[in-house]
Amino acid sequence: MAKSLSSFLLACTIVLLASLLASATIVEHSLYIKNLTVNHLCHDQVIVAANGSFPGPTISVHEGDTLVVHVVNHSPYNISIHWHGIFQLLSGWADGAEYATQCPIRPGHSYTYRFNIIGQEGTLWWHAHSSWLRATVHGALIIYPRPNPLKRLPYPFPTPYEEVPIILGEWWNANVIDVLNEGLAIGITPNLSDALNINGQVGDLYKCSNHDMYRLKVVPGKTYLLRIINAVLNHQMFFNIAKHTVTVVAVDASYTNRYVTDIVVIAPGQTVDVLFTSNQPIGSYYMAAQPYYSVPRVIPFGNRTTRGIIVYEGSTSSTPMKTALPSYYDDSAAFKFYNSLTGLADGPHWVPVPLHVDKYMFITVGLNNEPCKSKTGKCPGPLGGKVSASMNNHSFVLPNTLSMLQAFYYGVSGIYTTDFPDYPPFKFDYTNLSLNESFMFAPKGTYVKKLNYNDVVEIVFQNTAMIETESHPIHLHGFNFHVLAQGFGNYNAREDRTKFNIVNPQIRNTVAVPSGGWAVIRFQANNPGIWLMHCHVDRHMPVGLATAFEVKNGPTPSSILPPPPEDLPKCFESDDILNSPVPSQPNSLSYPNFSRGRRSYYMELNVGRIAHREKK
C-alpha cells in the first residue's frame, strides 16, 4: 500500500513538473514599422505606426516565456523598440534604448528582440525609443501568471470577468519629429499636442470627433480588470469613471494592497491595474482623462480632456453621466494617490526591501539653461538662452557613433565617461524658484555612474526650481525599485528618513518625483550592462534630464553579459567594431577613440536622417 502511494505521488510530481516546464514557451511576433495615414480632428495626418494600427498590437505572454519580436523598419526614420519595465536579465541587447543599448534600426533594416520574462507578471508596455516616435509607436505588453495546475486563482484578487487595456495617448496634427526638432532648434519647449486620446480615439470634446470615441460595453454586476497605460508624451494624467470607484491592485506590473479610489493618477511610462465593477443603474457613463499640470503657471491650451463611454448592456441612455475630475493643478489629489499605494508583501514575485545599502546618491532633477549660439546671441528660452535639463547639474547627451552597451562590452573609450557624481556640485535652496545664473548652466556630456554587480543603491531624487517646479517621472531601465518615501520641500535626512516604508513599499520602474519635492528609491544592481535612468516626459530627456548606470559583470558565468546577437543594428553600413572579433573577455580590448572630432563619420540625427559629414 505504501509503495503504491509513493508511486502515485511520484507520478503526480512528474506530471506536475512536466506541466510547469511545458508552460514556458517561445512566443513570437513581428512588428512592421511603416507610415500610416490617420484622420483625427478633420485632418489627415501621416504617422509612423506598427502593423498598420494606432495604438499598436497588444503582445501577451506568460511569466517564464521567451518573447521573440521581429521588428522590420519600413518607415523613413531610425527606430528602436523599448520593452518598458522588462528586467532584461542578461539580455541588455534587447532593452531597445537607442544609442544606449543598441544603434537604431535604420530604414530598410530589421532586428529581432529576444528575451526571457522572468519574475514578472502584470501590465507593461512597449514603445519606440527614438525621438518622439513613441507618440504613435506603442502598445500594451501583458504578462499573465505562469500556468499552474495547483493554483486555483490566477491573481491575488478576484478573477475579473474580462480584462481591458486602456491606453492614454497624445495626438498632433503634425509630424511629431518635426515638432520636436523645431523646439530643439530654437531652444524652447516643443508645441503642445492637439488632442489626447483613449485607445487611439480622441473623444467627443474635440472638433469632428463625435464618433471618434472609445466605447466599452459591460455586463451589469460584473468586475473588469482595466489595465491603464500612460503613453502620453508630456503629461501626467487624472483618470475617472463617472459615478464609479475603482480598486487599484497593481502598478508597473507589481501587485499592491487594494486601494479604493475615484481618481487614478498616472505619470508617463507608468501602468496602473484597477478593478472596475459595473454596479450602478443601467445606463452609460463617461470615462475621462485630463492632464495633471504640476507647473502652477501653465495655462491649458484649448480642450485638454479626452473621453470615452462605458455602456451597460441593456442601456437606452443617449446622455452619459459626466465625470468629476480634479482641477488641472491639484497637487494634493496627485500626491494622495501616489503616496497611498503600498506593495503586496509576500504576494506573487514580492521582493523584500534590501536593508543594507552599498551606495547612497542624492540626485537633483530639473530644468536648466543652455547658452544661445545664434547669430544674435539671444534665444527665446530662459535668460535669452535655450531650455536645458540635468541631473546633479550634469546634462546628458546620447552618443551617436556607437551604443554605450557596445562600448561597455568591447571596452571602447570616448563614448561615455563614468564620472556622474553621487551628489550635486553645490547645495542651494532647491525648491525656491530662482533664476540664478551662477548655477543655471549645466555642462553637457555622456555622464554615467559605475556600480559593482549586486550593489544596493539608495537614491534621493530632489526636485529643483531653478527655472520652474514640475513633477518629473523618473524611469529606470532594467530594474524595479522600492519607493521608500515621498514628500514636499527640500529633503531633510534627519526628519524624512523616519518616514521610510521598508515593510511594504510600492515597487515601480517609474516614480513621479513630486513638484517642489523629493522621492527616495532603493534597488539592487543585479544585472550587468548599461541602464538608462531618465525623465519620461519626452520634452525633457532630449535636453539632458537623464543619466545611466554601468553595472559591472559579476563573478560567475551566469552574471556576465553575453555577446551581442549577430543581427544587432549597426550605426553605419560599415562598422569597424562590429566587424572585429568578439573578445573572449568582455571589456578587455582597447579600440581607437571614436569620440566626436577624432574620426570621419556620418552623424545621424535622432530623426534618422544623415545630416552632414564631419571633417577630420
| Better-scored residue on pLDDT, 202 or 595 | 202
Are 176 and 135 in contact, with CB atoms under 8 Å apart? yes
Q: What is the pLDDT of residues 82-140, one digit of tens each?
A: 999 999 999 999 999 999 999 999 999 999 999 999 999 999 999 999 999 999 999 99
pLDDT confidence tier of residue 182, bands split at 50, 70 and 90? very high
Q: Could you tell me the pTM of the whole model?
A: 0.90
Spatial separation of the C-alpha atoms in residues 600 and 616, rounded to whole Å: 6
Q: Give the least confident one: 151-165, 168-182, 261-275, 354-368.
A: 151-165
pLDDT confidence tier of residue 372, bands split at 50, 70 and 90? confident
Q: What is the pLDDT of residues 515-532, one digit of tens each?
A: 999 999 999 999 999 999
Determine the residue type at 596: R
Residue 441 CB coordination number (10 Å): 17
Spatial separation of the C-alpha atoms in residues 483 and 398, rounded to whole Å: 27
Spatial separation of the C-alpha atoms in residues 155 and 344, rounded to whole Å: 12
Per-residue burial over 533-550, b = 16 or more CB atoms within 10 Å of its CB, e = otherwise: bbbbbbbbbbbbbbbbbb
Residue 379 is predicted with a pLDDT of: 85
Residue 298 is predicted with a pLDDT of: 58
Q: Domain coordinates of the chain in residue numbers? A: 359-551
Fold category of 359-551 in CATH? Immunoglobulin-like (2.60.40)
In the numeric block, the cell 519647449 is attached to 189
Q: What is the pLDDT of residues 249-271, one digit of tens each?
A: 999 999 999 999 999 999 999 99
Q: First CA to last CA across the chain, in angstroms?
A: 86
Q: How far is CA 28 from the centre of its chain?
A: 23
Nearest-Å Rg of the Cα atoms of the chain is 24
Spatial separation of the C-alpha atoms in residues 440 and 371, rounded to whole Å: 10
